[in-house]
Amino acid sequence: TSRELSVLQETTPMKARAIVLLDLDYFYCQVEMLRNGLPAERPVAVTQKFLVVTCNYPARSSGVAKLMRTTEAVARCPDLRLIAGEDLTPYREASDEAMQALRAFGPVQRVGLDEFFIDVTAVAEARASAGAWAPGTHVHTAAQGTTTAEALARTGTAYRPMDLRAASSGSGGSNSGGGSSNKSGSDSRSGSGGGSSGSSSGSSSSGGGGGG
């Protein structure tokens, strides 16, 4: 929580810390796919009113996009499964489960429903001192963080950095079916200090963002 992080800052000497930003992909969709037992290859979109608020990669590969009208989405992808997402209760519950799981790695601050900052400094230092890193592990550090680097490298795209994996490498901006899975996926980006990653059931911004 933010209080845990503030206490940590007050009691810990200033030093480089390993902060992980975990963003859970197409969170509302992941929750609904798990709740409804839908296969990973099935195109799925979560809607609010008459708009798509998020969709999985099979849907994106057919041209479905966030904030698209549901009529246009179905026209582009006739096999699309539309699921109403006005009730945020299942997404809040899944977000709480994810947060509880992430606390095993350090203090956690949640942003919306699908993004979490985790201070993994203590875990990373313990693993490093115990020689527990797997052979070949690369710890990435960046002054600005990888999010900024990705955004600068792909200016003008329609997706946030974590969504760019769905873009076709051969035709800047067109979508290909990125590997989605019935198991909740995630995108993690390290802050200054070190890298780590995690996965759990998904999430998104508290209003109606729906995830990446």
Reading the chain (212 residues) residue by residue, the pLDDT tens digits are 567 666 666 666 667 788 999 999 999 999 999 999 999 999 999 999 999 999 999 999 999 999 999 999 999 999 999 999 999 999 999 999 999 999 999 999 999 899 999 999 998 888 878 876 667 666 555 554 445 444 555 544 444 444 434 444 444 443 333 333 334 444 444 443 333 333 333 333 334 456 66
Q: Three-state SS for 185?
A: coil
How far is 27 from 193, CA to CA, in rounded Å? 27
Dihedral over Cα of 143, 147, 152, 153: its sign: positive
The pLDDT value given to residue 17: 83
Give pLDDT, residue 89.
97
Contacts of 120 (CB under 8 A, 6+ apart): 18, 19, 20, 105, 106, 194, 196
- What contacts 109, CB < 8 A, 6 or more positions away? 1, 2, 4, 5, 116, 117
Token duo for residue 83: 């699921």
Pairing of strands 51-55, 44-48: antiparallel
State the Cα–Cα distance between residues 91 and 85, nearest whole angstrom.
Answer: 9
Q: Which two tokens stand for residue 149?
A: 């680097």
Q: Report how far Cα 36 is from the mean position of its chain's Cα atoms.
A: 20
Model confidence, pTM: 0.59
What integer pLDDT is reported at residue 13 of this predicted model? 61
Q: What is the pLDDT at residue 198? A: 38
Would you give the distance in Å from CA 212 to the centre of its chain? 7
Our measurement of the distance from residue 163's CA atom to the centroid of its chain's CA atoms, rounded to an integer in Å, reads: 9
Query: Which pLDDT does position 165 carry in this prediction?
Result: 42
- For residues 57 and 75, what is the distance between their CA atoms, to the nearest angstrom? 17
Q: Which residues are catalytic?
A: 115
Evaluate whether 90 touches 27 at the Cβ level (below 8 Å): no
Q: Where are the alpha helices (DSSP H) in 103-194?
A: 121-129, 146-153
Please tell me what DSSP assigns to residue 143. Answer: S
State the sign of the Cα–Cα–Cα–Cα dihedral 169, 173, 176, 182.
positive
pLDDT recorded at residue 201: 39
